[in-house]
């Protein structure tokens, strides 16, 4: 239910912090990726080690870790699809209401574009205090979502409202939030990904090193936002995580073309495949024997799937192409957008700092749109790059309205 969702949990210093390992487990069980930031006081109630083991990620508290590495709050905020601050103490609430920035959690909160949910936990009178009530109202007016405290026995021994919502209730609020915010619900999306294999004879082919990971990550991201995704996938061992994606396995460029045409009425089309540009003019019926010193294989151009889709592009349809460039990014991208009738081009930097894009889990992308505007992104995982590309589609679509 939470597949592909990046949830950043901020734990502040209240006794209810002991329930957060359980919350982390529930979120992970539902498929989410979880990272945790703890305030200094939170560490008095629950250990970072426990949370690190459960979340399978490093847990951070300070701007610098013990090796003097900088914990980048902007990166953490950009990673998150949702920030959940639980338990939320009166102190952190007051900081959120007034923009105080004295720790990593607050810096991350202030840097975030995504939604923020808070689960307050306070003692009876504290929760009812005018300041608390007015601060809660204030942060709600900023767009934050409050998961109200529940009634019951409190740490002080008193009984009443102030207990942090149970992890099960926080989890169901999170699931409901994502279900009702499915940006692409009702939308049909076509993605092609992976390499193509062009047969030379029954046992040999011309192929390329594409793993398909980037296109697969885009398919997963769209599906997690409610889209009906058809993924036309060339030969690769990688598969999307989301079980709702319709996968059509193909081998050659012409098979990929044929299958893509079946979904050419999609609302959004993303051509991420590394389609072979040339194929053998004819395929030998039987295995070619090594009889001659030199073997010439005559190649002919394959069909340009993206161009074909561009020629028949519908008015409202969004068509996105990919490009692998080493230089003159803008010049080539501009040409591609015009020649292939695209809305925008995602350019992979061929020689990124991760040592190249093929097969890697990392990618460094730039997006060039019809107005020649370049949006550059730093080196990031292909999952995160997919989120950036999908967010770009969301912004592009709303700017067209």
37 lies in the binding site for ligand CTP (CB under 6 A): no
Residue closer to ligand CTP (CB basis): 79 or 322: 322
At 160 the three-state DSSP class reads strand
Site residues for ligand CTP, 233-262, by CB under 6 A, read: 253
Token reading at 238: 């990688």
Residue closer to ligand CTP (CB basis): 165 or 256: 256
Gyration radius of the chain over CA positions: 25
* Binding-site member from 306, 384, 386, 393 for ligand CTP (CB under 6 A): 306
Distance CA 49, CA 252 (A): 49
Task: Return the DSSP state at 273.
Answer: -
Residue 208 appears among annotated catalytic residues = yes
**Interhelix angle 130-141/90-98, nearest 10 degrees:** 50
The contact pattern for ligand CTP, residues 274-293, with x = CB under 6 A and - = no contact, is -x-x----------------
CB of 369 to ligand CTP, least distance (A): 15
Of the listed 71, 91, 169, 208, which one is catalytic?
Answer: 208
324 lies in the binding site for ligand CTP (CB under 6 A): yes
Residue closer to ligand CTP (CB basis): 220 or 325: 325
* Binding-site member from 184, 322, 344, 392 for ligand CTP (CB under 6 A): 322
Distance CA 222, CA 154 (A): 43
* Binding-site member from 24, 80, 96, 305 for ligand CTP (CB under 6 A): 305
Piece of the chain touching ligand CTP by CB under 6 A; list 107-115, 283-291, 301-309, 350-358: 301-309
197 lies in the binding site for ligand CTP (CB under 6 A): no
In the beta sheet, which residues pair with residue 159? Answer: 153
Kindly give the residue spans of alpha helices, DSSP state H, lying in 272-381: 305-311, 329-340
323 lies in the binding site for ligand CTP (CB under 6 A): yes
At 308 the three-state DSSP class reads helix
CB atoms within 10 A of CB 102: 9
* Binding-site member from 41, 75, 304, 329 for ligand CTP (CB under 6 A): 304
Nearest to 119 by CA among 143, 138, 93: 93
Q: Chain centroid to CA 392: how far?
A: 12
Distance CA 44, CA 75 (A): 26
Distance CA 198, CA 251 (A): 8
Residue closer to ligand CTP (CB basis): 27 or 276: 276
228 lies in the binding site for ligand CTP (CB under 6 A): no
CB atoms within 10 A of CB 197: 20
CB of 253 to ligand CTP, least distance (A): 5
Which secondary structure element, helix H or strand E, spans residue 192, and what is its range?
A: strand 188-193
* Binding-site member from 302, 317, 363, 366 for ligand CTP (CB under 6 A): 302
* Binding-site member from 119, 271, 319, 389 for ligand CTP (CB under 6 A): 271
How many residues belong to the site for ligand CTP (CB under 6 A)?
14
CB of 321 to ligand CTP, least distance (A): 4
321 lies in the binding site for ligand CTP (CB under 6 A): yes
Task: Return the DSSP state at 126.
Answer: H
Distance CA 184, CA 227 (A): 5
Distance CA 294, CA 281 (A): 18
Q: Which residues in this chain contact ligand CTP in the complex, by CB under 6 A?
A: 253, 271, 273, 275, 277, 302, 304-306, 321-324, 336
Active-site positions?
A: 208
């Amino acid at each position: 239910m939470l597949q592909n969702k990046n949830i950043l949990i901020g734990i502040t210093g209240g006794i209810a912090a002991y329930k957060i390992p359980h919350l982390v487990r529930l979120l992970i069980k539902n498929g989410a990726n979880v990272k945790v930031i703890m305030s200094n006081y939170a560490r008095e109630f629950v250990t970072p080690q426990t949370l690190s083991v459960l979340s399978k990620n490093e847990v951070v508290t300070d701007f610098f870790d013990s090796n003097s590495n900088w914990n980048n709050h902007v990166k953490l905020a950009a990673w998150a699809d949702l920030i959940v601050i639980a338990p939320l103490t009166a102190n952190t609430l007051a900081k959120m209401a007034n923009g105080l920035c004295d720790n990593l959690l607050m810096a991350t909160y202030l840097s975030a574009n995504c939604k923020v949910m808070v689960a307050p936990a306070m003692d009876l009178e504290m929760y009812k205090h005018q300041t608390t009530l007015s601060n809660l109202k204030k942060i709600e007016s900023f767009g934050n979502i409050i998961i109200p405290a529940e009634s019951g026995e409190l740490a002080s021994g008193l009984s009443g409202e102030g207990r942090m919502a149970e992890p099960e209730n926080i989890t169901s609020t999170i699931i409901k939030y994502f279900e009702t915010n499915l940006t692409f619900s009702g939308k049909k999306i076509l993605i092609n990904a992976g390499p193509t294999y062009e047969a030379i004879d029954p046992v040999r082919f011309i192929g390329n090193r594409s793993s398909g990971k980037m296109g697969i990550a885009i398919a997963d991201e769209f599906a997690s936002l409610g889209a009906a995704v058809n993924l036309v996938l060339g030969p690769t061992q990688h598969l999307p995580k989301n079980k709702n994606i319709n996968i059509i396995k193909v081998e050659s460029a012409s098979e990929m073309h044929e299958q893509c045409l079946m979904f050419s009425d999609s609302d959004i089309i993303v051509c991420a495949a590394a389609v072979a540009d040339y194929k053998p003019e004819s395929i030998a019926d039987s295995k070619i024997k090594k009889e001659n010193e030199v073997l010439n294989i005559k190649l002919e151009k394959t069909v340009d799937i993206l161009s074909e889709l561009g020629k028949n592009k519908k008015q409202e349809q969004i068509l996105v192409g990919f490009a692998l460039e080493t230089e003159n990014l803008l010049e080539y991208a501009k040409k591609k957008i015009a020649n292939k009738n695209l809305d925008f081009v995602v350019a992979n930097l061929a020689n990124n700092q991760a040592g190249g894009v093929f097969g890697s889990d990392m990618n460094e992308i730039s997006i060039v749109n019809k107005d020649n505007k370049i949006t550059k992104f730093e080196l990031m995982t292909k999952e995160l790059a997919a989120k950036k590309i999908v967010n770009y589609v969301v912004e592009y679509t709303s700017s067209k309205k």
